[in-house]
Structure 1
Amino acid sequence: GGPMMGKVVFDLDTPVTKTTTGILVLPRDHPLVLKKTLRIEYIIKQSKAACCQCSYCTDLCPRYLLGHELYPHKIMRQINFGLDLPYEIIQNAFLCSECGLCEVFACPMELSPRIINQKIKENLLAAGYQPKFSGKEENPREMKEYRNIPSSRIKNRLRLDKYDEDGRHPLPVIETDPNQVEILLKQHTGVTSKPVAKIGEQVNEGDLIAEIPKGKLGARLHSSIKGKITYIDEERIIIKK
């Protein structure tokens, strides 16, 4: 993914999925890599020690500026100090798009409301919690047009400006013809797809290999090459030519 919403991967055999938008290769000690690999325990301790309660994370939050009732600074205060705030404050972490503007640009202490929101959502979903929202249309806040951040400033904060060669692609684009593909069963919004193909089955490019579980939100998966299915488990399907 991108430098703000993407994740750090160290395994070069990690498969590309339909949501893979880009691959950035950075030194292991690059500030962006170090920040994205911090443990959540350290992030919370850092937040408790350094948060100055300025509310800049909310002031510049794109979802807040679009009119949503998302207040990252209140969520941070709840996590830091255990305040008795209305449950809607924490539930509204589900409104967070995890764009990363708060941690990259807004917070003067370089804290990460994005990661906090991400972990809140993960824990609530794991506990079976389903958020409920009114669905009413929101109106953008008056200050929205004055709080847009130039992408050049973001690149500078990410320490990526030196890699920008006037928009030129640093490497040639080549087409590949892989002999094997690994298709993950969970690479989309919703639940994990259910395999409908069998090990040893011959498939053509475009054949259905995994279906959406009945009554659930998910996505169908299709073979990207012509070949034979050699492996299936709860996470992936492997096809070889």
Structure 2
Amino acid sequence: MTPAKPTLVLVPGLMCDASSWGAVPSGLPDWHVQVVDHGRADSLVQMAEQLLSRAPVRFALAGHSMGGRVALEVMRIAPERVTHVGLFDTGHLPKPAGEAGDEEVRKRMALLAIARSQGVRAMASEWVKGMVAPQRLNDRPLIDAILDMFERKDADIFEKQLHALIHRPDATTVLQTVKVPTLVLCGALDAWSPPIQHQAIADCIPARPAIVSVPDGGHMVMQEQPEAVLAAMRQWLALPSSVSQGASC
């Protein structure tokens, strides 16, 4: 009897769906790949609980952007169920206090206002300007694929997911307890979640994570540089799930 394939759960980011993962699902034929749909959840914890209710007992996990934060909440709730964890183009800190936090909220609410008044595609047309590598802004197939993806969701979902991000918890203590093979990956040209932010994430993880900065990739790195992402993921998923102590935050 052929053994069952292990499961990899992929967690999309803000307003994203399976298409944000590009060629990843088809490029990992030795894995049973599931892509999460957050539905109308309005908190990272709710998204994590939904994921856990639908996932097998044991699984590998990779989250992109907001999905990386969801993955960290999964690790907070049920770390014993996760064999490998990948954190892509993401962050771990809560909304900053004071003026910096107020400015973040203002910018997010400005995008929501566009989505409400002009439609999600118009909002996404503004959003995408900082979300791909600068040289890809004239790549119409790539940009249209991202805009089409956003347009598959509505402004109400956007509002709920913004609420989840604005009220995100601090995941520092979660990172400090990670003991499974970990991949911390981002696009080298990601202006929203830059490489230095991922180094800070990696510095908190005692399991000596693999750190990959993908050349010529922006925030949507899986769509921009799929082969480089797949190469990093194959190496990561080939690692046995075991404890390895290293540095801590």
- TM class by smaller structure: under 0.3
Q: TM-score, normalised by structure 1?
A: 0.25
Structure with more of its chain in helix, by fraction: 2
Q: TM-score, normalised by structure 2?
A: 0.25
Q: Greater RCO between the two (CA within 8 Å, min separation 6)?
A: 2
